[in-house]
């Protein structure tokens, strides 16, 4: 790239500094992030002070210590504790605005935020009230932060047919205006006995015009990805990393260019991959697969979307052009309209 040599704050030209600045400035799209898992310390502090009777510290320093990622069991404990703070539609709205604020600070222009309405229903919130809170938060994020928020409703897989029913009923009877997709997450190992209920829910969602965006191949092997493609009509795969164990699936994904939402730090934190250096993302790119970069449950895994682009640069050795290509892939794989795609892609190209 032509242009002036970037100079670090110490006055010494460094490629590292310039690449970090490039990543910060890169206009981004986030396709795989969960509402509760995206709650950062300031947001949780607000909720903890609203509901001070729970196990979550109401002192900021204590909360930061509680939030520091240690291992998967501790992450599960934090996730559970934060979930317990989400009791009213107002709390749901606070979460959405909080994640939009955190993403705006990273130059994220558009996010497809995964919401698990079944857990909010189980907390006693009526579907129309949840939807109203979600709609309101979209307008707030747009008007106050300039971030476009869209929603994906996902089935918590471990709840089986009941979770599928609660999720699809909500999606069909009380969809938020910005609902674009239908997914499934949670423990993948729980899916096979409920296969038909999940297939039925996805068929109904697709018939209603929602995109099929299931998690698959994060915790289990390629067979779950095949089921997502053939049984659930997947238009994008959440994670999909275990595709690398099946040459026939790799060939299929290369041929169809089915987008994969890859979340490297998450895979290490949940113990699916030993460490970042062992992550398959570079091999997935070498195989010609359609990869996007995402953050999953960022504050709980001590990362951000910007942090994932840094990992791609520093651990996987991707240069500016490759990083920009990942950012463009997210635009292409998104549910944005043509004007939205053109605007963000133009910004990315201008930065290059």
Catalytic residue among 112, 218, 235, 308: 218
Q: In terms of CB distance, is 188 or 296 closer to Zn ion?
A: 296
Size of the site for Zn ion (CB under 5 A): 1
Q: In terms of CB distance, is 91 or 296 closer to Zn ion?
A: 296
Tell which one of 141, 296, 303, 327 touches Zn ion (CB under 5 A): 296
Q: Concatenated DSSP letters for 125-157?
A: --HHHHHHHHHHHHHHIIIII--EEEEEEEEEG
Q: For residues 155 and 84, what is the distance between their CA atoms, to the nearest angstrom? A: 19
Cα 36 from chain centroid (whole Å): 11
Q: For residues 84 and 293, what is the distance between their CA atoms, to the nearest angstrom? A: 29
Single out the residue of 118, 40, 53 nearest to residue 85, CA to CA. Answer: 53
User: How far apart are CB 32 and Zn ion at their closest, in Å?
Assistant: 6
Q: In terms of CB distance, is 20 or 291 closer to Zn ion?
A: 291
User: How far apart are CB 320 and Zn ion at their closest, in Å?
Assistant: 28
Residue 217's Cβ-count burial label (10 Å; 0-12, 13-18, 19+) is buried
Helix (H, G, I), strand (E, B) or coil at 84: coil
**Is residue 30 annotated as a catalytic residue, yes or no?**
no
Contact yes or no for 134/176 (Cβ under 8 A): yes
User: How far apart are CB 239 and Zn ion at their closest, in Å?
Assistant: 7
Single out the residue of 174, 78, 165 nearest to residue 125, CA to CA. Answer: 174
> Taking CB under 5 A as the rule, does residue 261 contact Zn ion?
no
Q: Which stretch binds Zn ion (CB under 5 A): 19-27, 154-162, 293-301, 302-310?
A: 293-301
User: How far apart are CB 183 and Zn ion at their closest, in Å?
Assistant: 8
Q: Which stretch binds Zn ion (CB under 5 A): 59-67, 98-106, 119-127, 290-298?
A: 290-298
Q: In terms of CB distance, is 88 or 335 closer to Zn ion?
A: 335
Active site residues: 218
Residues contributing to the site for Zn ion (CB under 5 A): 296
């Amino acid at each position: 790239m032509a242009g002036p040599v970037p100079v670090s704050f110490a006055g010494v030209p460094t490629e590292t500094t310039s690449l970090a600045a490039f990543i910060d400035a890169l206009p981004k799209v986030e396709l795989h992030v969960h509402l509760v898992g995206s709650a950062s310390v300031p947001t949780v502090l607000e909720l903890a002070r609203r509901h001070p009777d729970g196990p979550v510290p109401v002192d900021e320093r204590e909360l930061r210590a509680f939030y520091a990622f240690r291992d998967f069991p501790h992450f599960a404990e934090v996730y559970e504790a934060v979930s317990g703070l989400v009791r009213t539609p107002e709390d749901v709205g606070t979460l959405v605005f909080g994640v939009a604020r955190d993403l705006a600070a990273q130059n994220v222009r558009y996010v497809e935020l995964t919401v698990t309405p079944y857990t909010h229903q189980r907390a006693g919130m009526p579907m129309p009230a949840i939807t109203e809170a979600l709609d309101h938060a979209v307008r707030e994020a747009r008007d106050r932060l300039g971030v476009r928020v869209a929603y994906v409703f996902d089935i918590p897989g471990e709840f089986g047919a009941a979770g599928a029913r609660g999720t699809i009923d909500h999606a069909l009877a009380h969809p938020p205006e910005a609902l674009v997709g239908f997914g499934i997450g949670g423990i993948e190992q729980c899916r096979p006995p409920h296969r038909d209920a999940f297939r039925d829910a996805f068929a109904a969602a697709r018939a209603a015009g929602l995109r099929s965006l299931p998690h698959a191949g994060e915790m289990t092997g390629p067979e779950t990805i095949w089921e997502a493609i053939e049984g659930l009509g997947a238009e994008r795969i959440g994670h999909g990393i275990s595709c690398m164990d099946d040459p026939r699936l790799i060939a299929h994904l290369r041929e169809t260019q089915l987008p994969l939402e890859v979340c490297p730090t998450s895979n290490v934190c949940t113990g699916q991959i030993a460490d970042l250096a062992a992550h398959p993302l570079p091999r997935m790119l070498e195989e010609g697969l359609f990869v996007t970069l995402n953050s999953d449950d960022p504050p709980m895994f001590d990362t951000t979307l910007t942090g994932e682009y840094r990992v791609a640069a520093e651990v996987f050795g991707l240069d500016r052009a490759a990083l920009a290509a990942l950012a463009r892939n997210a635009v292409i794989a998104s549910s944005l309209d043509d004007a939205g795609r053109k605007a963000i892609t133009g910004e990315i190209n201008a930065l290059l």
